[in-house]
Structure 1
Amino acid sequence: MSTPRAVTGPPPAVPDWAGRALKSVLDRVAVARTDVGDRFPLFADPGGGRWTTTGRGSWTGGFWAGLLWLRARYSGQGIDREAAKRFTARLTGWVDADTATRGLILWYGTALADTPEAAVLRLRAADACRDAYDCELGLVPWGSAFGGPRLLARVDGVPGMVPLLASVDPRAAGSHLRRHLELCAGDGCFRWSWRYERPGGWASCDDPPPGWSRGRAWLLLAVADAAHHLDTDDPAESVSHLLREPAVPPADEAHPEGPLDTSAAAITTVALLKLGHREQAVTLLDELVRTHVTADGRLLNGCYDLAAGTATQHELIWGDFFLAYALATLTGLVGPHDA
């Protein structure tokens, strides 16, 4: 791993708007907690902010638990802490689920927690993911928990999985990332999903499409985590073709006139902060806060699934999480590698 350079002088100034934005976003978490009750929020309509929810959390449940832990750390209130503990415990059912999204669910749902129970849950999840690692494929397969073929490599099965696996098997974590980098971003071409067939090997899939907004963001985040959690080379080479100008991307680059995806931008800000690209992260955060965050703390214009027409201009729970985490990092509430 490259040796970090010593930091001299005073810490960078925190923009005036960052603290106000963090308060607004985390106040929204408290409102959402009341609105959804015992269910997990998934996305909210851009008009009235009403949540569509799930009973078990789906692949996004860890982001709700993570938001609750951020809210608890910010407020110091017992009611927030108890809610965070309760929803984190409810992620236990995903430990043995056959899905690479256990990285998203069980890393982000436990990383900010400070309880022994959450630490045990995180270790159990890491062990289960290590057991699911396929030596022949060089990765943890996408899995069958959400239907469809099991032997897939999808880019959204990399973030969260890298730090989770790294805690118990750094070699498997590094292999999981490298294989996805080779498949999803090799030769300068982006293909975010691949199916393994016997015989024949890997074949690219059309869903998600090459212009999918979150493809780059998820992979950039995983590279940023690998640079911290694994004994890797300097990530600059892996990062260079994943970076873009700090702006909110369209949900699909093939449809630049279509909906934007603020959730992809929020993920990117966290990755940039982890990589030390603070100026770019602040530029992107400033655009999100000024243009897409409402007075009551809702990050709008996230696109869940453009092809299916699902929640194309909505508040998305993972967009909220990464926005809140980036703001919390910028203001010093958390460190860039706490989650």
Structure 2
Amino acid sequence: MSVMNTPSGEASWADRALASLLARVSVTADEVGPRFPLYADPDTGSWTTTARGSWTGGFWAGLLWLRALSSGDPDHRKAAADCTQRLRYWVEQDTATRGLVFWYGTALAAGPGGHEAAGELRDEAARACLAAYDAELGLVPWGDAFGGPRLLARADGVPGLVPLLAHAPGSGPAAAYGHLIRHLELCLSEEPPRPAWQARPPAAWTAYPEPAPGWSRTAAWLLLAVADALHWLGDEDTGLRKAAAHLAALRLAPDARLIPPAQDAHPHGPVDASAAAIEVVAALKLAAFARATGDEPEGDRLATRGRLVLRRLTEAHLSPTGVLQDGCYDAERGLATRHELVWGDFFLAWGLALLTGLTQPFTM
């Protein structure tokens, strides 16, 4: 039985949607071969790919693991394992997005009784990220792997890295907590939350212009990281609970738009279905946490919100061939503003997997 307490009759549409998404994974796998999909043209469905996966490679590996879990096919499991090992290049690269790469690319396979090589890779990456933790700054810096200033704090450098650091031996949990708290202090110091800040050592931070405040994925990424922290780092911290409540009020309130605009400053511009998919997973994780700690009403509210957004995504943005449309990679640059995005597919598939009971909230 799913921990999401799926109402009778809802599993059928969720099962169909998940099956459609995973069928699309097989089509994509045939198209991209050993490369990694990034975003697909909304008219042709053709993927723009990368050789090494960039910051999104873990989501492709995660999709392949979800397909293998659903099908039980040994060939699917081998394809997922092979893809995961191709992520190894990123272990020593200077980027906080290693959390996205290695948590979501290995977590489904690295648990007890799982794939040994994936578990070893996750542990190796966790140790490397812990070594990159800057105690003076109180975080793992954004890094210079993709160019630009190295000493940044960015909201998208938090999810994945919190649970990955929490699994590192020794001071890993403390580093995970420090990394998250520093980002929450910075990002939530403005309204709307500012996703990026630049360090001015020894002790100053200044606002960084990109991404701009009002970016669709700021609250989504932070919500996901806070939900994981509450589970992996303990539930007694009132600061984390307050941050979760604040972020939930921004994006998981009953009157919040189900599918956010790519930029708050342009409410009638492109939407970002991928941000909504991230928020679904965060909502379902927070719902599970609320229920586990005795707050059934809040758990029910968050689970209902998650199901509502999932239903909207599958009915209004998921094509019959399993393409999650209307994701926005970068509205400011006009890059892939209404496209299928690999992380959007991943989080939608994972949300549906949670709803149907294929996975549990803190498996990944």
Of 289, 297, 306, the match for 1:281: 306
SS of alignment partner, residue 153 of structure 1? strand
**2:180 matched to which residue of 1?**
177
RMSD: 1.6
The change in CA–CA distance for 1:110 and 1:134 in structure 2 (over 3 A counts) is same
Q: Verify: 1:86 aligned to 2:82, yes or no.
A: yes
C-alpha separation in 1, matches of 2:64 and 2:118: 13
The change in CA–CA distance for 1:11 and 1:201 in structure 2 (over 3 A counts) is closer
C-alpha separation in 1, matches of 2:143 and 2:131: 13
C-alpha deviation, 1:115, in angstroms: 0.6
**2:117 matched to which residue of 1?**
117
Q: Verify: 1:268 aligned to 2:283, yes or no.
A: no
Taking the TM superposition and a 5 Å limit, the aligned residue runs for 1:188-203 are 188-198=191-201, 201-203=204-206
Q: What are the superposed Cα offsets for residues 300-322 of structure 1, whole Å, 9 maximum, x if unpaired? A: 00000011111000000000000
C-alpha deviation, 1:246, in angstroms: 5.4
2:106 partner amino acid: T
**2:45 matched to which residue of 1?**
49
2:123 partner amino acid: L
C-alpha deviation, 1:236, in angstroms: 3.6
Identical amino acids, percent of aligned pairs: 57
**TM-score scaled to structure 1, two decimals?**
0.95
Q: Verify: 1:13 aligned to 2:7, yes or no.
A: yes
SS of alignment partner, residue 153 of structure 2? strand
Is the 2:62–2:106 Cα contact (8 Å) retained in structure 1?
A: yes
C-alpha deviation, 1:198, in angstroms: 3.1
The change in CA–CA distance for 1:246 and 1:259 in structure 2 (over 3 A counts) is closer
Q: Which runs of 5+ in 1 are unaligned?
A: 1-8
C-alpha separation in 2, matches of 1:198 and 1:176: 17
**2:142 matched to which residue of 1?**
142
Of 20, 23, 28, the match for 1:27: 23
C-alpha deviation, 1:118, in angstroms: 0.4
Q: Which runs of 5+ in 2 are unaligned?
A: 288-301
SS of alignment partner, residue 107 of structure 2? coil
Q: Verify: 1:301 aligned to 2:326, yes or no.
A: yes
C-alpha separation in 2, matches of 1:102 and 1:199: 25
**TM-score scaled to structure 2, two decimals?**
0.89
C-alpha deviation, 1:188, in angstroms: 4.3
C-alpha deviation, 1:231, in angstroms: 1.8
Instruction: Name whichever of 9-18 and 132-141 sits farther off.
Output: 9-18
Q: Verify: 1:227 aligned to 2:252, yes or no.
A: no
Is the 2:4–2:303 Cα contact (8 Å) retained in structure 1?
A: no
1:218 partner amino acid: W
Is the 2:39–2:49 Cα contact (8 Å) retained in structure 1?
A: yes
C-alpha separation in 2, matches of 1:135 and 1:152: 14
Is the 2:6–2:355 Cα contact (8 Å) retained in structure 1?
A: no
Aligned residue-pair number: 332
Instruction: Name whichever of 225-234 and 268-277 sits farther off.
Output: 225-234
Q: Verify: 1:104 aligned to 2:100, yes or no.
A: yes
C-alpha deviation, 1:84, in angstroms: 0.3
C-alpha deviation, 1:248, in angstroms: 0.2
C-alpha deviation, 1:241, in angstroms: 2.4
Instruction: Name whichever of 295-304 and 186-195 sits farther off.
Output: 186-195
